Structure 1
């Protein structure tokens, strides 16, 4: 069983794949060559599923940070005999600068140890277990390294010290003195590719320096936000970039699978895919924390992947645009803290969620300047999305939270169908006939009237989860964020207050909902929803309350400013897949909303 806290991990990325490294210097999760590839190291989900650790042999204190403007991790181990610094990264393509970040990844994990003072003895333990721990590869010595053969993987570990090999594990104890640098690296290829090889020490030092410069050049070119929480917003922009699969432009929801919403529970999902829903939120976040080029890449991926499928629109895709994401379980893995089953794939791809039309058209509208150059096929696809929203908004669905029960008339889905038509009218009306746009306008107005009539519960005094329901749902906070109703509308103000009063845990973090959803077990509070509350409060002009709520959510980041999906209601511990794109998107968008609200308030007071 793996029991290391989720918060103990830091993210490494080459914009193709990801690794999670603990504060004890252990790589406990690594998927090569894509985010959704089978893991090479999977101790995150089972102690037997592989890891690669560089850890002091005796007692130590660890501190860590990302180097400025990068996602290159630096961990400092302080012992009674000395101090060493571990710098590590998934290498970027050679010479990548600016917008080229992540192009042509070498699939190379570099880990460089430098003595800072005195001497420190480190234990090196390399235990590759490809195919989610099923394979125990044959290890062999090479000049300056260790090879691993197993399945279709060809792994070569470059090491400056000899390692002892025993039962598919390589180990050594090495003493690092002040001023000394030892560089280790894991290179991956397949039998069909150019074989992985041992890298000389000088080459690894150069590749690490080049990767640092690659990240810094991207940050310098792409990040200009200078408002409240500047460092957190810019860091979140880099996290979103790190979760981008560069070959296609897809952004994964998280780089992990099956980290639970409740320890020991069964709400364990594979998030290594790209959801259409993320599009609208990501457009706004990248507009603030990065630049429209990255948002444009994501939109191009979404339209290309989605346009190849018949309506109704599929809600999610693989990072290469794959449609079939059939879910299966891995019974040989016990899961994080015995949270089983461990799942690969995500059956939600089969669900119907009508909100996706709104998210994709909102993304297109946000990028309207770039869409001047789109071809006729993409424009026709966008028109089809609006037409489908106009005809399918009446239908029940599984909603934003992908409940696995009977379809319902979820309020959020109706609102996003309204968004689809509203944005289509703004973006596409000149390209269609007046009769066509008239139908969109009529459907938009009918949706609005229906939501206002059926979605507000007089008994609760708020907009609720679905028509006829008395259950609150945090997704209704999106109504003012997408412009359906102003946050100052009395019904909306009452809804915001109801969520802040009745849908929070004792620490003020927001649940998604509290009603039945067709699944067993409980879940934590949702950080995205807490940022939504801050965002909605800012739109209502309540900047002080918005800042307080923002601080509660942002306060649940770990020591390197990464956010999980949820927080345990009792302890505040991180839960769910990690790091979570939605949480970082929520942080960016809420910070921007608060910044803009405070600017408007200042201008009003100084007019």
Structure 2
């Protein structure tokens, strides 16, 4: 059974990413791209669907017996061959005379790893449920009773990233000593590789390694053979090849590749797992320790380019680094999350594939990178956006593949039981074909911000924008599926109309500021017409709030963005009324729901956690209303919901005290960045370019003659 979502950490190399649990198990890794099939899919199934464990070994040989019987249920066995001999399933069998044997490590104990106890039912106290994930994880991994833990025999576990890098260090304390497990993926290799190094810190610790490779999302069992020139094995299934190199002796056991070894103080034992296409040669071996130094330099040099300073800088900089890890380096596209089908409610069906690039993320991601000082990443994302939006405006999609692929068919993987039984497990996303009018506003805002930030676009980009607006003029009054990608039919969503207004507003601003040719009178007239339409049809006087849809009575947290986008000033009483109404009706334990799924028919069974990005939007609104102390308190509570290495999922369940939804979620981290910078009054000039009013608690216009002057654009209605 997989770990809790908040118990995972992220490592990546700019092509893909892996999730590593506190207990040393890699339970999710898609190779060679973020959206490829997973070779480790235990996150959404069982250990038999693929994982890579390195952890202290248990002191009993019986701990693994239940798993051996479970492995016997497989229809086929993972085969281990000796060079050309395919008859043995034991990779440690005596080699042939012409074969290079895997070196053995003297004095290996015959220990086997203890298995996870996560399948047991644990009753948490109310006090324990209310703790933030990071503190609760710390408490629950400080054993002290000497009993075997999950999955190895460690009395306590601590972990961290090495400085401002994606190098994960996990400390295991056992009765016999202490070790540190270092996990990382070297960027810029020319191929994708994951390296794990066990470092002895104190005493002598018995360790166990267990590799279960299952390609194609835990389905395909590979054929395993020994490497002819290195110490290790090679696994092949269809188009995929993975090679494991290590000086430790390996053997086959119950359709797994396993090893037991000891590590004493000062010793370092490396493991390197490398991916390649099966028709190509296995990439050459590199020194793991040299790769570690190079990887550390890469991330430290990248982080040093950042400009964020202030009270919330550590969390903001970690979030920016996480966004960098979600970027597909060859194209500049940024995935929403590196996972699929982590549930928005445990046991529920709101499970989606987020390993694609949403245009909606364009504005906030591009602005976050620029506000953080990372203009190269912003430039790459802008270039990706320019490529995918090229073509007929009628064919603009809400999301694309990493390289701009348009077809992302959705299907279900019935052999995976789902995270904690949450089915179905989905690959692809049918929302790709939805009409979501807000993406036109996202694109226009993104490109306007790029120009303001000095990322000049060519003439073609402006011509494409003009064509998009011409099309938007003909469809903005139509119903759509909205920002939340509902599956209950199209409606007249308020936020979609607000973003249509943003599209024309930002186009007008770009044309005026950069002397671009445009039918400004027509655009201004359409902008004013949309604004009047929203204010007339979305305002509910009984609720004293803007509602989710025209003429509706359901609230929606997306309307919290109206003052942040400049649609209305924070001082407008309708904004204050909407904030009050959402506080009364959409807060759950002080955090914000998107909307009440029990009251809104979105085509899906009800039930989900609080949406973290919406809670950050509430923080911004509180600050704009002059409630700065309350805003800071809420922001700091949100920061405390991040796990012990600073990562957030899409949502948080206050009842169970757990992160839920895909993880880590780019949308949550971008919201964390913007709200933190706003609270620190950081880079207000760039924030104003996004249409945001100054965070002085009064909603006043910027003084004349300043960079922010004239950037507010709320028409008087």
TM-score range (shorter-chain normalised) is: over 0.9
Q: Distance in 2 between matches of 1:211 and 1:299?
A: 26
Residue pairs, 1:214-363, within 5 angstroms: 214-221=298-305, 223-363=306-446
* Structure 1 match to 2:168: 73
Structure 2: gaps (5+ residues): 59-152, 683-693, 704-717
Please name the residue that 1:20 is paired with: 19
Does 1:196 pair with 2:291? no
Q: CA deviation at 1:227?
A: 2.4
Paired position in structure 2 for 1:99: none
**What residue number does 1:149 align with?**
236
- TM-score when normalising by structure 2: 0.80
Q: How far does the alpha carbon of each residue in 1:333-379 deviate from its partner, in whole angstroms, 9 at most, with x for none?
A: 11101111100000000000000010011011111146774322211
Shift of residue 563 of structure 1? 0.1
Change in 2 beyond 3 A, CA 1:464/1:531: same
Retained in 2: the 8 A contact 1:30–1:40?
A: yes
Please report how far the alpha carbon of residue 307 of structure 1 lies from its aligned counterpart in structure 2 after TM superposition.
Answer: 1.1
* Alpha-carbon shift at residue 3 of structure 1 (Å): 4.1
Q: Which residue of 2 aligns with 1:511?
A: 593
* Residues 189 and 329 (structure 1), Cα distance of their counterparts in 2 relative to 1, 3 Å cut: same
CA distance in 2, matches of 1:595, 1:390: 38
1:551 equivalent to 2:636? Answer: yes
Query: Using the alignment, how far apart are the partners of 1:281 and 1:599 within structure 2?
Result: 18
Partner deviation per Cα, 1:306-346 (whole Å, 9 max, x = no partner): 21454142100001110000101111111101111100000
Tell me the alpha carbon deviations over residues 211-239 of structure 1, each in whole angstroms, 9 at most, x when there is no partner.
01100000002x11112311000000000
User: How far is the alpha carbon of 1:288 from its aligned partner?
Assistant: 2.6
TM-score, normalization: structure 1? 0.94
Q: What SS class does the counterpart of residue 112 from structure 1 fall into?
A: strand
Cα distance per residue 1:291-319 (max 9 Å; x no partner): 22211211210120121454142100001
Q: CA deviation at 1:385?
A: 2.1
The CA deviation string for residues 42-99 of structure 1, in whole angstroms up to 9 with x for no partner, is 10001121000001113311100001111110100011111101111111115xxxxx
1:128 is aligned to 2:223: no
Question: Contact 1:139 / 1:169 at 8 angstroms: preserved in 2?
Answer: no
Q: How far off is 1:193 after superposition? A: 3.6
Give the match for residue 437 of structure 1: 520
Match of 1:588 among 660, 663, 673: 673
Relative to 1, partners in 2 of residues 1:562 and 1:372: Cα closer, same or farther, differing over 3 Å? Answer: closer
Moved over 6 A (4+): none
Structure 1 counterpart of 2:646, from 553, 561, 567:
561
Q: Do 2:623 and 2:697's aligned partners in 1 also have CA atoms closer than 8 Å? A: no
Match of 1:88 in 2: 183
Contact 2:480 2:491 (8 Å CA) reproduced: yes
Give a deviation string over 1:431-450, Cα, whole Å, max 9, x none.
335xx221111010001111
Asked if 1:49 corresponds to 2:49, the answer is: yes
Q: State the aligned residue count.
A: 586
CA–CA separation in structure 2 for the residues paired with 1:401 and 1:349: 13
Task: Give the distance between the partners of 2:364 and 2:452, measured in 1 at CA.
Answer: 18
Q: Report the equivalent of 2:605.
A: 520
Compute the displacement of 1:154 (Å): 1.2
Helix, strand or coil for the counterpart of 1:431?
coil
SS in 1 for 2:591: coil
Secondary structure at 2:384's aligned position in 1? Answer: helix
Q: In structure 2, how many angstroms separate the alpha carbons of the residues matched to 1:27 and 1:310?
A: 42
Are 1:542 and 2:541 counterparts?
no
CA contact (8 A) 1:390 1:444 kept: no
- Determine the C-alpha separation between the residues in 2 that align with 1:194 and 1:500: 59
- Give how far 1:579 is off: 0.2
CA distance in 1, matches of 2:479, 2:241: 48
Question: Greater shift after overlay, 589-598 or 128-137?
Answer: 589-598
Q: Take 2:487 and 2:197, find their aligned partners in 1: how far apart are those partners?
A: 46
CA distance in 1, matches of 2:432, 2:611: 22
Matching residue of 1:162? 249
Greater shift after overlay, 533-542 or 238-247? 533-542
1:398 to 481, 502, 509: 481
Alignment match of 2:264 (pick from 171, 177, 185): 177
- When Rg is computed on C-alpha atoms for both structures, the one with the higher figure is 2
2:157 maps to which residue?
62
1:417 alignment counterpart: 500
Give yes or no for contact 2:170–2:182 (8 Å, CA) kept in 1. Answer: yes
What is the distance in 1 between the residues matched to 2:274 and 2:423? 31
